Every structure is written in C-alpha cells, then in structure tokens.
C-alpha cells in the first residue's frame, strides 16, 4: 500500500511516498526523502507515530498565571489528547525552575512532563 507523508524532521518538508505491506501494515520503503532523516521519520510514523507534547498548566504565586510545559520525550500519538487533557487539572505553586518535573508518567506512558521555563 502507498501513502503520502510530509516529513517534519527538517525545514525542507519533503513529500514522502511510503510503501507498506498491505496485510501487516509494516514499513517497506520510502521515496522522495532528500536526507536519511526522512527515511527514519517515515518508518517511525508508519510503525509507531510519536509527537512532543507542549501545553500549559496553572501556576499560583508567579508573575504569570500559566506555566509552559513540555514532555521529556515524544509521546505515542494516540496518547497525546489524553495527556493534554490531564494538564488541565494541574496547578503548581511558584517558584518552579525550568526542567522541574510537573507530572510523572503522563497518560500511563512512562514519560514525564517538565517545566519549559522558570517562574
């Protein structure tokens, strides 16, 4: 089976033509990539797509009322919405330093969410 993807590994944004096994859905090959990152991106996107999560949480006692947060590693794409929803219920107290863990094991992924800045 053929599918088209736009590579997001670099600013070039190559249009990739990805071949997968029709029966199993397993990655076979990719065309259209200008660099090796495109091939790696296509294989990951077909087999287990992941995305970095960025969001905000409420913070009390700081100059600003919202604290930007980011996942320590990419999350499985299917868990992204659940993870962002979990962020809505979190409120932290100032002071918070960049890199402090805000939420552990978000959405059961084993991945922590950390502060993206100090407040």
**Contact present, 105 and 117 (Cβ < 8 Å):** no
* pLDDT tops 90 at residue 32: yes
**Contact present, 63 and 95 (Cβ < 8 Å):** no
What is the band of 1 on the pLDDT scale with cuts at 50, 70, 90?
A: confident
* pTM of the complete model beyond 0.85: no
Say how many residues make up the chain.
Answer: 119
pLDDT for the residue 103: 97
CATH number for the domain running over 54-115: 3.10.530.10
pLDDT for the residue 47: 87
pLDDT for the residue 27: 86
Coil, strand, or helix at residue 85? Answer: helix
Could you give the CA distance from residue 97 to residue 118 in angstroms, rounded to a whole number?
4
For residue range 38-84, list pLDDT tens digits in order: 999 999 888 889 999 999 999 999 999 999 999 999 999 999 999 99
Task: Give CATH 3.10.530.10 domain extents, the chain.
Answer: 54-115
How high is the mean pLDDT of the chain?
94
pLDDT for the residue 117: 97
pLDDT for the residue 25: 79
Instruction: Tell me what the mean pLDDT of segment 90-110 comes to.
Output: 97
Instruction: Tell me what the mean pLDDT of segment 72-98 comes to.
Output: 96
């Amino acid at each position: 089976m053929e599918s088209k993807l736009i590579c997001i590994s670099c600013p070039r944004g190559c249009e990739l033509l990805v071949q997968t096994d029709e029966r199993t859905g397993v990655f076979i090959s990719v065309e259209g990539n200008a660099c090796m990152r495109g091939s790696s991106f296509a294989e990951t996107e077909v087999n287990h797509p992941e995305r970095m999560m960025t969001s905000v949480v409420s913070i009390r006692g700081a100059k600003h009322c919202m604290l930007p947060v980011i996942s320590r590693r990419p999350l499985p794409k299917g868990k992204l919405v659940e993870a962002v929803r979990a962020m809505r219920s979190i409120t932290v107290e100032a002071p918070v330093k960049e890199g402090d863990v805000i939420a552990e094991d978000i959405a059961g992924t084993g991945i922590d969410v950390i502060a993206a800045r100090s407040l």
